[in-house]
A = this chain, B = another copy of it.
């Protein structure tokens, strides 16, 4: 009688090497994401790059990072050449995205890019082509996509029995800005963030609308006559648009503004008796839970969804997971993230084109380039 086989050796405890982020630029949103990276076990900040080393050092100390462990780079170039950086988080002005995100990809860095992804689809295509050629992960910084509330709401909308088909979508998104912002913020400067409010907040409206229809591109997009306010440099401060999908009965509208008080509303009406409403869809009012309401005719039920990490950390967590899969396990980059960034950009571009053509409806081509 033979002995039973020996028990297998216990596997060593799995400690995945964290994804080492380089922060490319020190915009104020970078503080939030730097904190988020610190909250995620599988992610760490390896370096900060700015146009001067002293600015990078200041960012490191002001954000409580370990000055001994985090390298300060005095240029974007040297950060991209840092071999200890796996991925960049790039909160640069939108006008600089194409140059630096593509350069990062060309050096083999995965790219987490602030939104709007680019000033136009051609720029984004260059970035995505560079990521594709290098085999690195691309994701844009639309944090709301990573909140569990968003997934819960998706389940509601996808329920053919209780929700039916989507028929009407509306989003109203605004926040009031200061006089200083209107004078000096990069989001009102044509060469830095030429899309203005359309890029900064309209992006979220467009993304939410696409999300609600399962990312099917609309066929026609039209800016709303009279909805557009621009500054003296021609940058959009407020606008609105409607869109529709040929052959469907879906109609979507949004208005967004730097010139009104805070509203972050999304309403989705279906055919079968449930209406979904959320009034803080971009940034939940609470950091550890977020609510939405569903209303059958009789009552308004509020659903509260808890989140263990703030949504920006959930974004970093998911991005880091995808990066590790490529870096450590020979996985392919996840194609969903570049695809929905590209669709969002296509619709934002169409709204911009309609604005530029006096609110003429713009057909979106459903070809390979869109």
Q: Across the interface, which residues of B come within 8 angstroms of A227, CB to CB? A: 242, 244, 251
What 0/1 readout, one digit per residue, does chain A (293-322) give for beta carbons within 8 Å of chain B?
101111110000000000000000000000
- The distance from the CB of A347 to the nearest CB of chain B, in whole angstroms, is 14
Q: Beyond A224-B222, A238-B249, A361-B225, is A263–B275 a contact (Cβ under 8 Å)? A: yes
B261 close to A170 (CB less than 8 A): no
B273 close to A299 (CB less than 8 A): no
B245 close to A224 (CB less than 8 A): no
B277 close to A270 (CB less than 8 A): no
Q: Beyond A225-B220, A226-B245, is A167–B259 a contact (Cβ under 8 Å)? A: yes
- The distance from the CB of A213 to the nearest CB of chain B, in whole angstroms, is 13
Q: Across the interface, which residues of B come within 8 angstroms of A300, CB to CB? A: 279, 285
- The distance from the CB of A230 to the nearest CB of chain B, in whole angstroms, is 11
- The answer, yes or no, to whether A260 is at the interface (CB within 8 Å) is yes
- The answer, yes or no, to whether A174 is at the interface (CB within 8 Å) is yes
A253 close to B261 (CB less than 8 A): no
Q: Which of B164, B246, B249, B277 contacts A279 (CB under 8 A)?
A: B277
Q: Across the interface, which residues of B come within 8 angstroms of A253, CB to CB? A: 170, 224, 240, 242, 253, 255
Q: How large is the interface on A (under 10, 10 to 19, 20 to 34, 35 or more residues)?
A: 35 or more
- The answer, yes or no, to whether A257 is at the interface (CB within 8 Å) is yes
Q: Which of B172, B222, B257, B273 contacts A225 (CB under 8 A)?
A: B222
A251 close to B224 (CB less than 8 A): yes
Q: Beyond A279-B295, A300-B285, is A170–B255 a contact (Cβ under 8 Å)? A: yes
Q: Beyond A255-B251, A285-B299, is A224–B242 a contact (Cβ under 8 Å)? A: yes
In residues 230-260 of chain A, which contact B (Cβ within 8 Å)?
238, 240, 242-246, 249, 251, 253, 255, 257, 259-260
- The answer, yes or no, to whether A262 is at the interface (CB within 8 Å) is yes
A224→B170 CA distance, assembly (Å): 13
A275 close to B262 (CB less than 8 A): yes
Q: Across the interface, which residues of B come within 8 angstroms of A245, CB to CB? A: 226
- The distance from the CB of A277 to the nearest CB of chain B, in whole angstroms, is 7
Interface residue ranges, A against B (CB under 8 Å): 164, 167-168, 170, 172, 174, 176, 219-220, 222, 224-227, 229, 238, 240, 242-246, 249, 251, 253, 255, 257, 259-263, 265, 267, 269-275, 277, 279, 285, 293, 295-300, 359, 361
